[in-house]
Chains A and B, each alone.
Chain A
Amino acid sequence: MEQKYYQKEIETMPVEEMKKLQSEKLVKQVKHVYENVPYYRNLMDEKGVKPEDIKGIEDLHKLPFLTKADLRDAYPYGLLAKPLEDCVRIQSTSGTTGRRVVAFYTQNDIDLWEDCCARAIVAAGGTNKDVCQVAYGYGLFTGGPGLNGGSHRVGCLTLPMSSGNTERQIQFMTDLKATILCCTPSYAAYIGETLKEQGYKPEDIPLKAGIFGAEPWTEEMRRGIEATLGIKAYDIYGLTETSGPGVSFECSEQTGMHVNEDHFLAEIIDPDTGEVLPEGTKGELVFTSLDKEAFPLLRYRTRDICVLSRKKCSCGRTLIKMAKPMGRTDDMLIIRGVNVFPSQIETVLLNEGYEPNYQIVVDRVNNTDTFEVNVEMTADKFTDKVSEILALEKNLANSMKTMLGINPKVHLVAPKSIARSEGKAVRVIDKRKLV
Chain B
Amino acid sequence: MAIKQLTIFVENKQGTIVDVTDTLAQHNVNIRALSIAETEDFGVLRLIVNDEATAEKVLAEEGYLIKVTEVVGVKIGDAPGKLSAALGVLDKADINVEYLYAFMARTEKHAYVVLRVEDNAEAEAALEGAGFHLITNADINKL
Tell me whether B11 and A414 are in contact (CB under 8 A).
yes
Centre residue among B5, B9, B67 by max chain A CB count within 10 A? B9
A contact residues around B11 at 8 Å (CB)? 413-414, 417
Selected contact of B65 from candidates A386, A390, A393, A414, CB within 8 Å: A414
Chain A interface residues toward B at CB < 8 A? 377-379, 382-387, 389-390, 393, 411-417
Tell me whether A386 and B39 are in contact (CB under 8 A).
yes
B80 at the interface (CB under 8 A from A): no
Selected contact of A415 from candidates B7, B41, B44, B65, CB within 8 Å: B65
Top 7 A-B residue pairs of the complex, sorted by shortest distance between their CB atoms: A384-B7, A411-B41, A382-B65, A386-B37, A384-B69, A414-B11, A382-B67
A contact residues around B10 at 8 Å (CB)? 414
Tell me whether A415 and B5 are in contact (CB under 8 A).
no
Given contacts A389-B44, A414-B9, A417-B11, is CB(A384)–CB(B39) below 8 Å?
no
A-B contact pairs, 12 of them (CB 8 A): A382-B65, A384-B5, A384-B69, A385-B98, A386-B44, A389-B39, A389-B42, A389-B44, A414-B9, A414-B42, A414-B63, A415-B65
A contact residues around B42 at 8 Å (CB)? 377, 389, 411-414
**What is the total number of residues of chain B having a CB less than 8 Å from a CB of chain A?**
20
B contact residues around A384 at 8 Å (CB)? 5, 7, 44, 46, 67, 69, 116
Tell me whether A382 and B9 are in contact (CB under 8 A).
yes
A contact residues around B46 at 8 Å (CB)? 384
Nearest to B116 among chain A residues (CB) is A384
The minimal Cβ–Cβ distance linking B129 to chain A, given in whole angstroms, is 26
Selected contact of B39 from candidates A382, A383, A390, A417, CB within 8 Å: A390
Tell me whether A385 and B116 are in contact (CB under 8 A).
yes
Chain B interface residues toward A at CB < 8 A? 5, 7, 9-11, 37, 39, 41-42, 44, 46, 63-67, 69, 98-99, 116
B contact residues around A390 at 8 Å (CB)? 39
A contact residues around B98 at 8 Å (CB)? 385, 387
For the complex with contacts A384-B69, A412-B41, A414-B65, 16 further pairs of A-B residues with Cβ separation under 8 Å are: A382-B9, A384-B5, A384-B44, A384-B67, A385-B98, A386-B44, A386-B99, A389-B44, A390-B39, A413-B11, A413-B41, A414-B9, A414-B11, A414-B63, A414-B64, A417-B11
A contact residues around B41 at 8 Å (CB)? 393, 411-413
A368 to B65 Cα, complex, angstroms: 35
A384 to B39 Cα, complex, angstroms: 13
A417 to B9 Cα, complex, angstroms: 12
Nearest to A410 among chain B residues (CB) is B41
B contact residues around A416 at 8 Å (CB)? 63
Nearest to A414 among chain B residues (CB) is B11
A contact residues around B44 at 8 Å (CB)? 384, 386, 389
Nearest to A416 among chain B residues (CB) is B63
Tell me whether B116 and A377 are in contact (CB under 8 A).
no
The minimal Cβ–Cβ distance linking A33 to chain B, given in whole angstroms, is 47
A contact residues around B64 at 8 Å (CB)? 414
A385 to B71 Cα, complex, angstroms: 12
The minimal Cβ–Cβ distance linking A365 to chain B, given in whole angstroms, is 16
B contact residues around A378 at 8 Å (CB)? 65
